[in-house]
Amino acid sequence: MSVSKPRRRFDVHMPPNIAQDMQDLEYETGLSRGEIFRRAMALYKNAKQTQLARGNVIFRYLDGEIREVIGI
């Protein structure tokens, strides 16, 4: 029998363009706002930890283009 972790509720106020991005992601992925937010937080945390450890955060596109993320 698994024990569920307590959850906390957060109210997030977003500018209209970011709120639209969230709505678009919900539609495109079929995920809930909460799940999109959790995944975004996990990605941000990992990227920040990588940069603090003097690593690079890089996006590599299918066409071979590479972009480094800076200023996280």
Cα-only R_g, the chain: 16
Q: Which amino acid is present at 61? A: Y
Report whether 36 contacts 22 (CB < 8 A). yes
Report the range of poorest mean pLDDT among 4-8, 29-33, 42-46, 54-58: 4-8
Contact partners, residue 66, CB within 8 Å, separation at least 6: 58, 59, 60
More confident residue, 57 or 10: 57
Closest CA to 55 of 67, 68, 41: 68
Kindly indicate the confidence band of residue 72, based on its pLDDT and cuts at 50, 70 and 90: confident
